Structure 1
């Protein structure tokens, strides 16, 4: 049974940057309780928080929404949220959505490479202009979630896929066509109104859907593997 996401060491020392380890699956079902823990941890750490997400085995756009909301909340308080380490599931999502740099720490010698980032210094404290740019980036990123959710729902209803399988189909097709996740999701949503998918995208979606169905059969009957 999948492990729901939970936070370990959720509180930093007063006046210092907090360090939080998150493990399990980060999705809509588990995000609300985790949101409470993370917001509480942020309020207890004056400088902000460093997240260790190496133990996150699954992360969809609901999980991304939680991270973005936490980042925006921190920015408004003059704090920072840095992802020091992350699992492939988290790193893949940050890359596909173009949000990796929002959680990037300043370049440091000997830094762990398990979640490589484009190093980008945090905005200088007290800079209203830079602060507004960061908040605008966060809000733009969060606006893409509804489109991705709708596209996933279309795949689920059309091809009888589970939420996780539909998510994997979108991510796989996005990677294999070098298309941003929200752009590909928009293409899928537009098919409802009769728009045709680009040929390359259609081929990759078909291949990903076929694989998802085969995996589902294999899990249901191990003898078929």
Structure 2
């Protein structure tokens, strides 16, 4: 039995071949070729051709050289067959690139259908999947920090400009004043900058007393350093 599915990684047509035999009520199926979009038709036909009375199905995919995410649909097909007929189904022999796909999906690379009789294909916390999850968490944090920095940049630049005009300091000195005031008052840098900017507006509210003290101390310290 074969399926002819166009495989995007090479742009050609590669067939999935499923052969098999039965022995003492067990069905042994061997898959060769590629697990891509359309391959489930071949597998479904092979399962439908199994004789009545089969009490176990074993699928060996050691002959599969390539699999994309669409190829994972065979797990659904095998899972449904097992539940419908009440027989255990296993799919083993994963190696090379197909095995890597299972790892990236967090599936059991020994047999992703190990618990087919008790629910959907078993998913395991493989080392690769755990590592990828950690990397994604780190990236999410970094992205959030970058977004916050981008949102904060305009008000910080405005506050630096106000300090430069008020105290005759350089852009770098104004930056250090803001940072030092933030540390002295235990106030977020963006909040310090927002308070400085608001206070420069006509009838604007002055910064809170603690922040005013921290700003005066920071300005004075940098003025002394410059001298």
Instruction: Give the alignment's TM-score, normalised by structure 1.
Output: 0.44
Larger CA Rg, structure 1 vs 2? 2
Higher relative contact order (CA 8 A, sep 6+): 1
Higher strand share: 2
Instruction: Give the alignment's TM-score, normalised by structure 2.
Output: 0.44
